[in-house]
Structures are given as structure tokens and as C-alpha cells.
Structure 1
Amino acid sequence: MTRSLNDRLSPARTPALAGPFLLGLVAIGLALVPATAARAATAGIALQPDPALQSAIANPARDPAFVKRDEARHPVQELTFFGLKPNQTVVEIWPSGGYWTEILAPYLHDHGTYYAAVGAPMKPGSPFAQKLAAQPALYDHVKITQAGGAADIAPANSADLVVTFRNLHNWMKQGDAPQMLAAFYRALKPGGILGIEDHRGHRTGAYDPQAKDGYVSQQSAIAQARAAGFKFVASSEMDANPKDTADWPEGVWTLPPTFALGAKDHDRYAAIGEADNFVLKFRKP
């Protein structure tokens, strides 16, 4: 959440009506399938997490500050919702400090592939580079690419899953969202999944199309992904926070973990917690 980087029927008794009536019901049923799936996911139908994923999240090598945030970020549930598997090729966009890298890289280490698509060319002395170098047993298989401009985040049609966490607002502000979404589409295999998490703006009413306060309309996020060619699969409320009214003095960065106002009203914002976030799942046809 950094400032810079960081949505049966009984048989018909009248033969003349049976055909059109049944066909109409079938059409209605098919039309409702995506909406039903989305509602089911939102309702929180239990998904069985992989024990290996749970083990990666329980790894004592993780940064204690990141572990503390698990309560707000729900990594097991979110990655399970996206359909993560240990043999997949996964691309994370703009990993920033490495919260998700600490989970994904070890989990995919032996049987999968993890790409960290950074926002700018990574210098050897950068914090993220130092993080990777400090624990080669965990991070020696990490592949670094760049997300931005005309760069490819991974070879075309190679990724099973592309994920981005709390970044869409940055690209909207910069006017880069269509270009970024196009890069995700190129990298994914047909049938591959795009997972997007970001700070949710007001559920109704007007919103800033540049997301300068760090908040994104869920409907806008879905519309942007669809415009890039993706099919909406489902949404989840696992990262929802009804205490977040999305109207803070310094935007989303007023809230933890940034606390943009410093000591001012710190306890008040700490009690609100991290922002209300949507979690969206899309598929490349």
C-alpha cells in the first residue's frame, strides 16, 4: 500500500409451449452462471488450501512485519481463490517489499516458476535485490522481469497465473492501466488467470478515474480488465473492511501500514485497519 508503487421445472404439458419455454429457461440459466459463481465466491464458499502453501506462509524466515499483516491480507485464502498450484508459472507484478514474494517463491521453488516483474530495472543494491540475495535457498530460482512500457513480463502465452496486489491505482494515475493489462493478457496462456487486489473506493457514486487517492471503483476495475479481453470469473469479500469509508485526508495512505499523518490520530486509524480491498478473478479466453 505504498504511495509510489507502491467485482427445475416440471415437464410442460402443452407441446406448443414446451420448446420455446424450455429454451428460454436454458438461456436464462446460462446467463446466470457467471453471476452465480461470483456470488458463491463472494459468499465465501470454503476452498481447500494446499498444505504446502500453508507451510510456505508459516515459514519462520518470513519478515515478522509481513507476518503481522497476514490477518488483514489473508494470503492462504486469496492465493487459493486464485487457484494457485505448485507446478504453475506465476507472475507477480510490482512485488515492492516482497510480502507475496516470501510466499510465492518458496512455494513454487521446486516444481513451478515465479517471475517477479518489477517496476523499474532492478539495481544490485536495491532493497528487493538484497532481500533475494540474502536467502538464496529460497530465492535462487526467482526470475526478474520488468512490468512497464513495452516490456514483456514473461514469454507470451506462458503464465498460468498473473497476480497484482494494490497496484492498479498507480497505473490509473499514470495512465498506464490499458498497457499493463495488455501485457498481462499477452503473458497468460489461454485459460490462464489474472488476480487483482486493490483498495476499493466508494461502492456507489462518483469516483476519480485517476485514483489519485489510491482508491479504485470495483466496477471500474472489472470494466478495465474486460476491455483488455479478460472474462470476469468471480469476486471475493475476504479483504473487505467496512470501517474504511475511503475519504481520508491523505487518501488510502492515511491508514495502516503507511500512516501518512504520522502520530496524528494514529490510534484512530490503527483501529480502522488496512483499507477495504476488492479481490477479483479473471480468465483469459
Structure 2
Amino acid sequence: MLLAACLAGPAAAAQAVPVASAQPDQPTDVLVPPTSARDFTASQLDGVLAGSWRSAANRARDVYRHPKATLQFFGVRPDFTVIEITPGGGWYAEILAPLLRDNGRYVAAEKAPAADAEARSDDSALRRKFAADPAHYGKAAIVTFDPKAPVLGPPGSADLVLTFRNVHNWAVAGTAPAMFKAFFAVLKPGGVLGVVDHRADDGATLEGVKSSGYLPTRYVVKLAGEAGFVLDESSDINANPKDTKDYPKGVWTLPPTLTLGEQDKVKYQAIGESDRMTLRFVKPAAPAPATASTP
């Protein structure tokens, strides 16, 4: 059961949080900037990450996904309205929905059921997850959108939009610009867009790598900028220097997919999950209204 103490209000003073990986192929001692607007009491997130409702398989991936450092970097707070885009089976939903349950709001945004079979499958899995554990997910919401003309909620209604390893799919489908414009529309002025995706080597072109699942960082920054966002900061929290990005089946050669099955499985498991960019964008605050001068 989630303890109320784990979901208390934000800490009065924030501190940098060291994150040590349990695997040598992952970065260690990553520091989150000690900015009070981004940090919240570490014990709140620790309590959720240790929650018994999280599956063992999902816990095992914490070492590659660094959820605590990642969410602190994006500035998640328990009183925020957070929209996660196409969360699939709910890896991050297991963390975010309970964290936001009492004082905030978690919204999972999925493709409309008619969009394709894969979206229907993911959507059903997520709904089953939420329905099976109302104590932790009962206040979570699911909205659906048309990826060609996405609307994620009322304009200016979200504090934070998060997308994990989705932009490469939109790049292939040609829907990435529309998705980023929808993120901008649904966020409040000053709201944050957090993006994690598979990172291509410097100098790679979009056309040269997009079928591999990797993306040039500058492409994602350009997409966000064209939608109106400002890049606030980038981080190597989810970097993996062992990822050579030159596999027979692209990024899906690596865990957790392991598309090649038993072929060189030990080799790819030793590499771990992909090298990932972690980018925080901000929707600029609305300018102050002009005041009439006194004659």
C-alpha cells in the first residue's frame, strides 16, 4: 500500500541527488541540478519506486532507465498534471500514476483505437492494468488522439508532457511535427516537455538512421523549436557509451527487445539498453500584457 508519507508536499530545500548505476556500462554519479523548481522530496519517489505493485521485470530495468534521476531532471512534482504520450504497457505509469494519485493528475495519451492494431493492444493492456489495481491507478485517466491531428486535452491544462522512446516512431510515420505542436498547445505557459529517445551518433542524418530507431539530437531539438519550445537543458542521465548503434536490426537488437533471439544474446545483454538523449524543453511564459501609459 502506498504510504501517505511518500506523497507529502515538496521539500522546502532541494539538493543534488547522486544516482549510482548497478551496472558498469551505465553512467554513475549523475547529479541533478539543485533547483527547487525541479526537485521534490527524494523519499516520495523512493517510496513509489519501491512499491510492491511494480512488476519485477520493470524494476529490473531501472538500472538502464534511471527513473528517479530522469523524473527529477524533468521536474516532476506530486501536485502536477502530467500527460505521458503513448505509454504502451505502462512502465512509467507504474511510477507516475501512484506518485500523482493524491495531489496531482496522471493522464496516459494513447492513439485512438481505430489507428492501428498495435495501439489497440497497448491501450487495452494499460486499461487492464489500471482496472486491476484501483488503489494505485484508480484516479489515472486515459485519453485518445488522432496522430495526424492530435489533441491531448484543453489548451494550457498540463504542467508536464513526457514522451519516452516515441519520437523515432513519429519520424517514420511523418507525424512528429503535429505531435510536438499538440504538446505545446496542451502545456501551460512555463510548462515542460520531457523527451527521452535513442540517440544517433553526432553527424548522423535523419534519413540515414531513422529506420534503425536512432535519431539525431539536433532533429528533435529542431522539431521542438519549430513548435515553439525552448531547449532548457540536456542530460546524459540515460547515456550508454557501450552502445555502438550499428546492429543488424537497429536499436531493437538490444535489450529489452532482443530481436535476434538467441543469436549473440549474451553480447547484446552485456551492452544493455540503448544510448539515449534526455532533453527538457520549456514552453515560454506568456508576455505580460501591455499597460496604458498615463497622459
TM-score, reference length from structure 1: 0.81
Question: For residue 195 of structure 1, what is the aligned residue in structure 2?
Answer: 194
Is contact 1:174–1:210 with CA below 8 Å preserved after alignment?
no
Is contact 1:232–1:281 with CA below 8 Å preserved after alignment?
yes
Question: For residue 90 of structure 2, what is the aligned residue in structure 1?
Answer: 98
Question: For residue 156 of structure 1, what is the aligned residue in structure 2?
Answer: 155
Report how far residue 49 of structure 1 moved.
5.1
Report how far residue 149 of structure 1 moved.
3.0
Q: Secondary structure at the match of 1:138?
A: helix
Question: For residue 141 of structure 2, what is the aligned residue in structure 1?
Answer: 143
Report how far residue 210 of structure 1 moved.
7.2
Question: For residue 246 of structure 1, what is the aligned residue in structure 2?
Answer: 245
Are 1:267 and 2:266 an aligned pair? yes
Is contact 1:123–1:129 with CA below 8 Å preserved after alignment?
no
Amino acid at match of 2:132: A
Q: Secondary structure at the match of 2:224?
A: helix
Amino acid at match of 1:161: L
| Per-residue Cα deviation, 1:76-132 (whole angstroms, up to 9, x for no partner) | 100000011111110000010100000000000010011100123368992221111
* Aligned positions of 1:79-228 closer than 5 A: 79-121=71-113, 126-147=124-145, 148-208=147-207, 211-228=210-227
Amino acid at match of 2:62: D
User: Residues of 2 paired with 1:125 and 1:163: CA distance?
Assistant: 17
Larger mean CA deviation between 67-76 and 147-156 belongs to 147-156
User: Residues of 2 paired with 1:114 and 1:205: CA distance?
Assistant: 35
Question: For residue 30 of structure 1, what is the aligned residue in structure 2?
Answer: none
User: Residues of 1 paired with 2:51 and 2:163: CA distance?
Assistant: 22
Change (3 A) 1:79 1:106: same
Is contact 2:33–2:73 with CA below 8 Å preserved after alignment?
no
Are 1:66 and 2:58 an aligned pair? yes
Report how far residue 242 of structure 1 moved.
0.8
User: Residues of 2 paired with 1:174 and 1:210: CA distance?
Assistant: 14
Larger mean CA deviation between 168-177 and 196-205 belongs to 196-205
Are 1:54 and 2:53 an aligned pair? no
Are 1:44 and 2:31 an aligned pair? yes
Could you tell me the percent identity over the aligned residues?
45
Gaps of 5+ in 1: 1-42
What count of residue pairs does the alignment treat as equivalent? 244
After TM superposition, which residue ranges in structure 1, 4 or more long, deviate above 6 angstroms? none
Amino acid at match of 1:192: G
User: Residues of 2 paired with 1:125 and 1:99: CA distance?
Assistant: 13
Change (3 A) 1:210 1:170: farther
Is contact 2:197–2:276 with CA below 8 Å preserved after alignment?
yes
User: Residues of 1 paired with 2:104 and 2:231: CA distance?
Assistant: 25
Q: Secondary structure at the match of 1:154?
A: coil
| Per-residue Cα deviation, 1:23-67 (whole angstroms, up to 9, x for no partner) | xxxxxxxxxxxxxxxxxxxx7355455221111111011011000
User: Residues of 2 paired with 1:210 and 1:263: CA distance?
Assistant: 25
Q: Secondary structure at the match of 2:126?
A: helix
Structure label with greater radius of gyration: 1
Higher normalized contact order (CA 8 Å, seq sep 6+, divided by chain length): 1
Report how far residue 154 of structure 1 moved.
1.8
Q: Secondary structure at the match of 1:263?
A: coil
User: Residues of 2 paired with 1:225 and 1:151: CA distance?
Assistant: 16
Larger mean CA deviation between 124-133 and 65-74 belongs to 124-133
Is contact 1:124–1:130 with CA below 8 Å preserved after alignment?
no
User: Residues of 2 paired with 1:164 and 1:283: CA distance?
Assistant: 14
Change (3 A) 1:248 1:155: same
User: Residues of 2 paired with 1:198 and 1:92: CA distance?
Assistant: 14
Q: Secondary structure at the match of 1:244?
A: coil
